[in-house]
Amino acid sequence: METRINEITNGIYRLSTFVPEIAPPAGFTFNQFLILGDEPLLFHTGLRRMFPLVRDAVSRLIPPDKLRWIAFGHYEADECGAMNEWLAVAPQAEVAHGQTGCLVSLNDMADRPPRVMQDGETIDLGKGKRVRYLDTPHIPHGWEAGVLYEEQTGTLLCGDLFTQLGDGPALTHRDVVGPAIAAEDLFEYSSLNPGMGTTIRGLAKLAPQTLALMHGPSFAGDGAAALRALADDYDQRVRHALADTQIAAFEYGRGDQLLAGLAATAA
Protein backbone atom coordinates (compact mmCIF):
# COMPACT_ATOMS: atom_id res chain seq x y z
CA MET A 1 0.00 0.00 0.00
CA GLU A 2 1.01 3.60 -0.51
CA THR A 3 -0.43 6.91 0.63
CA ARG A 4 -0.75 9.48 -2.13
CA ILE A 5 -0.74 13.24 -1.56
CA ASN A 6 -2.76 15.81 -3.50
CA GLU A 7 -3.63 19.43 -2.78
CA ILE A 8 -7.40 19.61 -3.31
CA THR A 9 -7.72 23.35 -2.59
CA ASN A 10 -5.42 26.06 -1.31
CA GLY A 11 -3.49 24.69 1.68
CA ILE A 12 -5.60 21.54 2.15
CA TYR A 13 -3.99 18.22 1.25
CA ARG A 14 -5.66 14.85 0.72
CA LEU A 15 -3.67 11.83 1.92
CA SER A 16 -5.20 8.75 0.33
CA THR A 17 -4.54 5.04 0.82
CA PHE A 18 -6.27 2.58 -1.49
CA VAL A 19 -7.09 -0.89 -0.16
CA PRO A 20 -8.17 -3.19 -3.02
CA GLU A 21 -9.10 -6.04 -0.66
CA ILE A 22 -12.08 -4.08 0.73
CA ALA A 23 -15.26 -4.36 -1.37
CA PRO A 24 -13.51 -6.03 -4.33
CA PRO A 25 -13.22 -5.63 -7.22
CA ALA A 26 -13.76 -1.88 -6.78
CA GLY A 27 -11.69 -1.47 -3.60
CA PHE A 28 -11.93 1.32 -1.06
CA THR A 29 -9.96 4.45 -0.16
CA PHE A 30 -9.13 5.82 3.29
CA ASN A 31 -8.46 9.56 3.20
CA GLN A 32 -7.03 12.02 5.69
CA PHE A 33 -6.83 15.79 5.20
CA LEU A 34 -4.03 18.05 6.37
CA ILE A 35 -4.86 21.75 6.65
CA LEU A 36 -1.77 23.91 6.71
CA GLY A 37 -1.45 27.00 8.87
CA ASP A 38 0.44 28.26 11.87
CA GLU A 39 -1.34 25.47 13.76
CA PRO A 40 -1.74 22.60 11.26
CA LEU A 41 -4.75 20.31 11.64
CA LEU A 42 -5.14 16.68 10.59
CA PHE A 43 -8.71 15.54 9.92
CA HIS A 44 -8.85 11.75 10.41
CA THR A 45 -5.85 9.94 11.84
CA GLY A 46 -6.23 6.77 9.82
CA LEU A 47 -6.27 3.25 11.17
CA ARG A 48 -3.64 2.49 13.81
CA ARG A 49 -1.94 0.01 11.46
CA MET A 50 -1.82 2.68 8.73
CA PHE A 51 -0.04 5.15 11.00
CA PRO A 52 3.44 4.64 9.46
CA LEU A 53 2.05 5.30 5.96
CA VAL A 54 0.13 8.41 6.98
CA ARG A 55 2.97 9.75 9.16
CA ASP A 56 5.39 9.43 6.27
CA ALA A 57 2.95 11.25 3.99
CA VAL A 58 2.49 14.07 6.50
CA SER A 59 6.28 14.34 6.87
CA ARG A 60 6.51 15.28 3.19
CA LEU A 61 4.43 18.36 3.96
CA ILE A 62 5.32 19.33 7.55
CA PRO A 63 7.44 17.87 10.35
CA PRO A 64 4.99 15.54 12.14
CA ASP A 65 5.92 17.00 15.53
CA LYS A 66 4.55 20.39 14.38
CA LEU A 67 1.00 19.06 14.12
CA ARG A 68 -1.22 21.13 16.43
CA TRP A 69 -4.75 19.76 16.04
CA ILE A 70 -6.25 16.31 15.48
CA ALA A 71 -9.93 16.07 14.52
CA PHE A 72 -12.30 13.52 13.01
CA GLY A 73 -15.98 12.93 12.35
CA HIS A 74 -16.75 10.31 14.97
CA TYR A 75 -15.12 7.69 17.19
CA GLU A 76 -14.29 4.84 14.82
CA ALA A 77 -11.06 3.01 13.99
CA ASP A 78 -10.54 4.40 10.50
CA GLU A 79 -11.23 7.94 11.72
CA CYS A 80 -9.22 8.00 14.94
CA GLY A 81 -7.47 4.63 15.36
CA ALA A 82 -4.02 6.28 15.32
CA MET A 83 -5.05 9.17 17.58
CA ASN A 84 -2.63 8.30 20.38
CA GLU A 85 0.22 7.57 17.98
CA TRP A 86 -0.19 11.13 16.66
CA LEU A 87 -0.33 12.54 20.18
CA ALA A 88 2.95 10.73 20.90
CA VAL A 89 4.84 12.16 17.91
CA ALA A 90 3.33 15.67 18.14
CA PRO A 91 3.80 16.88 21.73
CA GLN A 92 1.77 20.08 21.24
CA ALA A 93 -1.13 18.40 19.47
CA GLU A 94 -4.64 18.31 20.92
CA VAL A 95 -7.63 16.26 19.86
CA ALA A 96 -10.62 18.49 19.11
CA HIS A 97 -14.13 17.06 19.04
CA GLY A 98 -17.69 17.73 20.10
CA GLN A 99 -19.01 17.47 23.62
CA THR A 100 -20.68 14.08 23.19
CA GLY A 101 -17.59 12.41 21.72
CA CYS A 102 -15.40 13.80 24.48
CA LEU A 103 -17.74 12.78 27.30
CA VAL A 104 -18.53 9.32 25.93
CA SER A 105 -15.11 8.24 24.62
CA LEU A 106 -12.26 10.70 24.23
CA ASN A 107 -11.85 11.88 27.83
CA ASP A 108 -10.85 8.31 28.60
CA MET A 109 -9.38 7.00 25.34
CA ALA A 110 -7.17 9.94 24.34
CA ASP A 111 -3.74 10.04 26.02
CA ARG A 112 -4.15 13.79 26.58
CA PRO A 113 -7.34 15.67 27.46
CA PRO A 114 -9.26 16.69 24.32
CA ARG A 115 -10.47 20.15 23.41
CA VAL A 116 -14.26 20.12 23.76
CA MET A 117 -15.89 21.90 20.81
CA GLN A 118 -19.36 23.41 20.99
CA ASP A 119 -21.59 23.37 17.93
CA GLY A 120 -20.50 26.27 15.71
CA GLU A 121 -17.25 26.92 17.61
CA THR A 122 -14.17 27.76 15.54
CA ILE A 123 -10.42 27.21 15.76
CA ASP A 124 -8.14 29.76 14.09
CA LEU A 125 -5.30 27.82 12.45
CA GLY A 126 -3.49 30.95 11.28
CA LYS A 127 -2.53 32.05 7.76
CA GLY A 128 -6.18 32.70 7.02
CA LYS A 129 -7.39 29.20 7.79
CA ARG A 130 -10.22 28.76 10.30
CA VAL A 131 -12.31 25.63 10.94
CA ARG A 132 -15.83 25.52 12.34
CA TYR A 133 -17.11 22.46 14.17
CA LEU A 134 -20.70 21.38 13.45
CA ASP A 135 -22.60 18.72 15.37
CA THR A 136 -24.35 16.15 13.14
CA PRO A 137 -25.51 13.47 15.60
CA HIS A 138 -26.19 10.10 13.93
CA ILE A 139 -25.33 11.62 10.53
CA PRO A 140 -24.46 9.36 8.86
CA HIS A 141 -23.86 7.28 12.00
CA GLY A 142 -22.52 7.72 15.50
CA TRP A 143 -24.16 9.62 18.34
CA GLU A 144 -21.10 11.87 18.54
CA ALA A 145 -20.78 12.57 14.79
CA GLY A 146 -19.72 15.98 13.53
CA VAL A 147 -18.02 17.68 10.59
CA LEU A 148 -15.56 20.53 10.08
CA TYR A 149 -15.94 23.45 7.71
CA GLU A 150 -12.86 25.41 6.62
CA GLU A 151 -14.13 28.91 6.09
CA GLN A 152 -11.45 30.47 3.85
CA THR A 153 -11.62 27.82 1.13
CA GLY A 154 -15.25 26.81 1.65
CA THR A 155 -14.26 23.19 2.25
CA LEU A 156 -16.59 20.83 4.09
CA LEU A 157 -14.70 17.92 5.67
CA CYS A 158 -17.51 15.41 5.32
CA GLY A 159 -16.37 12.36 7.24
CA ASP A 160 -18.40 9.38 6.05
CA LEU A 161 -20.97 11.42 4.11
CA PHE A 162 -20.85 10.61 0.37
CA THR A 163 -18.89 7.37 0.97
CA GLN A 164 -18.21 5.57 -2.31
CA LEU A 165 -16.22 2.67 -3.70
CA GLY A 166 -13.21 2.63 -5.99
CA ASP A 167 -9.95 4.48 -6.47
CA GLY A 168 -10.97 7.56 -8.41
CA PRO A 169 -9.12 10.85 -8.89
CA ALA A 170 -8.10 12.98 -5.93
CA LEU A 171 -10.53 15.70 -7.05
CA THR A 172 -13.56 15.41 -9.30
CA HIS A 173 -16.18 17.72 -10.78
CA ARG A 174 -18.45 14.78 -11.58
CA ASP A 175 -21.44 13.45 -9.68
CA VAL A 176 -20.68 12.18 -6.17
CA VAL A 177 -24.29 11.57 -5.15
CA GLY A 178 -24.98 8.59 -7.41
CA PRO A 179 -21.88 6.68 -6.25
CA ALA A 180 -22.77 7.50 -2.62
CA ILE A 181 -26.27 6.09 -3.12
CA ALA A 182 -24.74 2.92 -4.59
CA ALA A 183 -22.41 2.54 -1.60
CA GLU A 184 -25.32 3.03 0.83
CA ASP A 185 -27.26 0.33 -1.02
CA LEU A 186 -24.28 -2.02 -0.60
CA PHE A 187 -23.13 -1.27 2.96
CA GLU A 188 -26.30 0.14 4.58
CA TYR A 189 -23.90 2.04 6.85
CA SER A 190 -26.09 4.99 7.81
CA SER A 191 -28.21 5.28 10.95
CA LEU A 192 -31.48 6.18 9.29
CA ASN A 193 -33.47 8.68 11.34
CA PRO A 194 -36.11 11.34 10.62
CA GLY A 195 -33.65 14.21 11.16
CA MET A 196 -31.17 13.18 8.47
CA GLY A 197 -32.51 15.30 5.63
CA THR A 198 -32.89 18.38 7.79
CA THR A 199 -29.36 18.10 9.18
CA ILE A 200 -27.76 17.60 5.77
CA ARG A 201 -29.73 20.50 4.28
CA GLY A 202 -28.38 22.59 7.13
CA LEU A 203 -24.88 21.81 5.87
CA ALA A 204 -25.97 22.78 2.36
CA LYS A 205 -26.62 26.33 3.62
CA LEU A 206 -22.85 26.70 3.99
CA ALA A 207 -22.64 26.49 0.17
CA PRO A 208 -19.32 24.61 0.26
CA GLN A 209 -17.13 24.83 -2.82
CA THR A 210 -15.22 21.64 -1.98
CA LEU A 211 -16.42 18.43 -0.34
CA ALA A 212 -13.58 16.45 1.26
CA LEU A 213 -14.73 12.82 1.36
CA MET A 214 -13.16 10.27 3.65
CA HIS A 215 -13.95 7.43 1.24
CA GLY A 216 -13.82 8.55 -2.38
CA PRO A 217 -12.62 11.54 -4.39
CA SER A 218 -12.99 15.07 -3.15
CA PHE A 219 -15.54 17.12 -5.06
CA ALA A 220 -15.19 20.63 -6.45
CA GLY A 221 -18.37 22.36 -7.55
CA ASP A 222 -21.84 23.04 -6.21
CA GLY A 223 -21.55 21.37 -2.83
CA ALA A 224 -24.93 22.70 -1.72
CA ALA A 225 -26.72 20.97 -4.58
CA ALA A 226 -24.91 17.70 -3.86
CA LEU A 227 -25.85 17.88 -0.17
CA ARG A 228 -29.50 18.62 -0.96
CA ALA A 229 -29.64 15.66 -3.36
CA LEU A 230 -28.09 13.40 -0.72
CA ALA A 231 -30.63 14.68 1.83
CA ASP A 232 -33.47 13.85 -0.56
CA ASP A 233 -32.20 10.28 -0.91
CA TYR A 234 -31.99 9.84 2.84
CA ASP A 235 -35.50 11.25 3.28
CA GLN A 236 -36.76 8.62 0.87
CA ARG A 237 -34.90 5.86 2.70
CA VAL A 238 -36.34 6.98 6.04
CA ARG A 239 -39.88 7.02 4.64
CA HIS A 240 -39.45 3.51 3.27
CA ALA A 241 -37.98 2.26 6.55
CA LEU A 242 -40.86 3.72 8.57
CA ALA A 243 -43.39 2.21 6.17
CA ASP A 244 -41.72 -1.20 6.41
CA THR A 245 -41.75 -0.95 10.22
CA GLN A 246 -45.44 -0.12 10.23
CA ILE A 247 -46.27 -3.04 7.94
CA ALA A 248 -44.24 -5.45 10.09
CA ALA A 249 -45.92 -4.19 13.25
CA PHE A 250 -49.38 -4.82 11.87
CA GLU A 251 -48.34 -8.27 10.65
CA TYR A 252 -47.29 -9.15 14.19
CA GLY A 253 -50.37 -7.59 15.75
CA ARG A 254 -48.62 -4.57 17.27
CA GLY A 255 -49.93 -1.90 14.93
CA ASP A 256 -51.93 -0.07 17.59
CA GLN A 257 -48.90 0.28 19.84
CA LEU A 258 -46.79 1.55 16.92
CA LEU A 259 -49.36 4.16 15.90
CA ALA A 260 -49.66 5.33 19.49
CA GLY A 261 -45.90 5.63 19.74
CA LEU A 262 -45.64 7.58 16.47
CA ALA A 263 -48.43 9.90 17.59
CA ALA A 264 -46.68 10.53 20.89
CA THR A 265 -43.41 11.28 19.06
CA ALA A 266 -45.15 13.70 16.70
CA ALA A 267 -46.77 15.48 19.66
Which residues span the domain enclosing 246? Answer: 3-266
CA angle 59, 61, 64 (to 5 degrees): 40
Distance CA 118, CA 183 (A): 31
Count of the separate structural domains present in the chain: 1
Angle between helices 223-251 and 196-204 (to 10 degrees): 180
H/E element, 219: strand 218-220
pTM above 0.95, yes or no: no
pLDDT in tens, the chain (267 residues): 899 999 999 999 999 999 999 999 999 999 999 999 999 999 999 999 999 999 999 999 999 999 999 999 999 999 999 999 999 999 999 999 999 999 999 999 999 999 999 999 999 999 999 999 999 999 999 999 999 999 999 999 999 999 999 999 999 999 999 999 999 999 999 999 999 999 999 999 999 999 999 999 999 999 999 999 999 999 999 999 888 666 555 555 555 665 566 556 555
Beta-carbon contacts of 66 under 8 Å, excluding residues fewer than 6 positions away, are 40, 90, 92
Q: What integer pLDDT is reported at residue 18 of this predicted model?
A: 98
The domain that holds 159 is classified in CATH as 3.60.15.10
Q: What integer pLDDT is reported at residue 1 of this predicted model?
A: 86
